[in-house]
Amino acid sequence: MQALKGHSMNRNDFPRGFIWGTATASYQIEGAVHEDGRGQSIWDTFSHTPGKVKNGDTGDVACDHYHRYREDIALMKELGVNAYRFSLAWPRVFPEGRGTLNPKGLDFYQRLVDELLNKDITPWATLYHWDLPQALQDQGGWTNRDTVQAYVEYADAVSGRLGDRVKHWITHNEPWVAAIIGHLWGFHAPGLQDAAAALQVSHHLLLSHGLAVPVLRANSSGSSVGITLNLSPIHPASPAPQDVAAARRQDGFHNRWFLDPLFGFGYPADMLEAFGPLAPQMEAGDLEKIAAPTDFLGINYYTRSVVKHDSSDPFLQTKGVRAGDEHTFFDWEVYPDGLREIIVRVGREYRPKAIYITENGATYPDRIDTDGEVRDFERQRYLERHFAKLWEAIREGAPLKGYFLWSLLDNFEWGEGYEKRFGITYVDFATQKRTLKHSGRWYRAFLHTTSVLSGN
Ligand code: GCO
C-alpha cells in the first residue's frame, strides 16, 4: 500500500474506468410534492404527522431540485463526476400506486436523464428509496404481498419509458432500513412497531427486487441491474463468547438476512431459528425469484457497529455499544477500515460480479463563515480516509468498480429533518442558494487532477 503514501491521492490512483459519482434520493431533494399530478407518499404522511420529524420538517420544498435540476447537474459537471445516482418518486409515476400512469411524472425523469446525458454524466436510477405511494400503504403497504406486484408494474412502466437511456438500475435502496426502521422501530415511515410485519416487509422487498430484475433487463437492453444494501461489519464489544454470539446474531440480522437470499443461499438458518414465529410467510418459488442473478451489488457504508449481549432486548438480545473516539454529528463512529472490511468480505463470500459503493459520507454541524466559506475539514478528512480504504479493497482483489458520495446536496435527512447536513454542497434552505463546501472543492480537485501515476 506504499503507493498512497508519497503524494495526496487522486483519481489516477484508481483503475481506469472507475466510476466516481454522487448520490441523492427523490424525497430528500425534490420538493414540488403537489406538482404535475404527484400523489402522496408515506413520507408526506409521516413528515406531516406532528412529532415524527425533528423541528416538524417536511420534504415539501426540500432542495427544490424538481425545479433546479439543471443547476444541480451543472454543479455535478463542475465537480467532474461521471455518474449520478438518483431515485424516482413512485407517486409521481403512479399517484395511486398502480393503475393510471401519470405521464407528467415520468416526463420529469426524462428531462433529468436527458440533461445528465447531455453533460456526459451516466444516470444510475434507483426505483425505490422509501417513498411508497400512500394509496398502497392504505392497503397494507409492504406487509401486503400485492404491493410486490404493484412494484413490478411500476418498474415496468419506468424502464419501459427510460430504458433506452438509463442503463444502470438499482431496484431498492437499503431494504433493511425500509423494513426495520420503518416497521419495527417506527422512526421512519410508515412508523409501525411490529417485528413480524417488519420481517414480512423485508421478504416482500426482496421478492419485488427479484421479480423486477428480468423486467428491467427486458425493457433496458444491455443494462446493469442490482440492489443496494446498507452493510456494516459487526464487531463484538469483547471477546466473551456471549458478545461474540451477539455479534453473529446482529450480523445475521443486518447483513446475512439480505445477502444470503440474494445470492442464492436462502435465509440464514440461524436467523430463521432466532426469529421463530416472527419469520416471514413465503410461497414456494420465492427464494429462487429473490436470487435472480444481478450485475452488481451496491453497498452503502457509513460506520461499523459494535454490539454486546443484552438479555433485556426482547428481539435479538443484543445491544449496540458506543465505540471509538471519533464520531460524526450523528454520533456514528468514524471507522474507515470497516469500508475495506465489508467490501472484501462480500467480494469473497458472495462473489458479486461487481461492487459499487452507492453511498458513503458524513454529517457535521456545518456553518457558512462570514466570508461565505464552509470549512468542513472533518468531512474532507472522512472522505480522504475512506477513499484510501477503497484503494486497499481493490488491492485485496475485491471487484470494486465505483463510488457514489452521499451526498451532492444538504437535504432532508428523514427523521432528522434538515438539521443533519450530509452534502458536499451547502444548501441555504431559505434561499435555495448552493455553496460548494471545502469537501466539495477537495472532491473536485481529486477528480480533476492529472498528476502522474505512482506506480501501483
Ligand atoms: C440511506 C440513505 C440516505 C441517508 C443517508 C444518511 O440510504 O441511508 O439513503 O437517504 O440520507 O444514509 O443517513
Cβ of 358 below 6 Å from ligand 1: no
pLDDT at 8: 80
Task: Tell me which residue has its CA closest to atom 1 in ligand 1.
Answer: 174
pLDDT at 450: 57
pLDDT at 7: 65
Q: What percent of the chain has pLDDT over 70?
A: 97
Find the angle CA(153)-CA(86)-CA(83) to the nearest 5 degrees: 120
Cβ of 359 below 6 Å from ligand 1: yes
**Closest atom of ligand 1 relative to the 28 alpha carbon:** 10
pLDDT at 2: 42
User: What φ, ψ does residue 189 adopt, rounded to 5°?
Assistant: -60, 140
Average pLDDT over residues 79-89: 98
Tens of pLDDT, residues 125-177:
999 999 999 999 999 999 999 999 999 999 999 999 999 999 999 999 999 99
Cβ of 416 below 6 Å from ligand 1: no
Q: Where would I find the beta strands (DSSP E) of 15-159?
A: 19-23, 83-87, 122-128
Tens of pLDDT, residues 266-283:
999 999 999 999 999 999
402: which 3 cell numbers? 465505483
358: which 3 cell numbers? 452507492
Q: Does 29 score more than 60 pLDDT? A: yes
User: Pick from 66, 48, 70: which is nearest to 105 by CA?
Assistant: 66
Tens of pLDDT, residues 405-436:
999 999 999 999 999 999 999 999 999 999 99
Tens of pLDDT, residues 305-336:
999 999 999 999 999 999 999 999 999 999 99
Cβ of 404 below 6 Å from ligand 1: no
Mark whether 174 is an active-site residue. Answer: yes
Tens of pLDDT, residues 179-209:
999 999 999 999 999 999 999 999 999 999 9
State the Cα–Cα distance between residues 208 and 221, nearest whole angstrom.
20
State the amino acid at position 234 in one-letter form: I
**Closest atom of ligand 1 relative to the 173 alpha carbon:** 7
Cα 241 to chain center, whole Å? Answer: 33
Burial zone of 269 (CB within 10 Å; 0-12 exposed, 13-18 middle, 19+ buried): exposed
pLDDT at 5: 53
Cβ of 13 below 6 Å from ligand 1: no
* Residue 239 neighbours by CB under 8 Å, 6+ apart: none
- How far does residue 304's CA lie from ligand 1's centre (Å)? 15
Q: List the catalytic residue out of 333, 341, 359, 392.
A: 359
Mark whether 96 is an active-site residue. Answer: no
Q: Does 398 score more than 70 pLDDT? A: yes
Task: Tell me which residue has its CA closest to atom 13 in ligand 1.
Answer: 413
* Residue 207 neighbours by CB under 8 Å, 6+ apart: 148, 286, 289, 290
Cβ of 173 below 6 Å from ligand 1: yes
pLDDT at 220: 98
**Closest atom of ligand 1 relative to the 411 alpha carbon:** 11
pLDDT at 80: 97
- How far does residue 268's CA lie from ligand 1's centre (Å)? 26
Tens of pLDDT, residues 337-371:
999 999 999 999 999 999 999 999 999 999 999 99
How confident is the prediction for the chain on average, in pLDDT?
96
State the Cα–Cα distance between residues 275 and 277, nearest whole angstrom.
6
State the Cα–Cα distance between residues 109 and 30, nearest whole angstrom.
11
- The distance between the two most distant Cα atoms of the chain, rounded to a whole number of Å, is 63
DSSP code at position 183? I
State the Cα–Cα distance between residues 289 and 284, nearest whole angstrom.
10
Average pLDDT over residues 390-412: 98
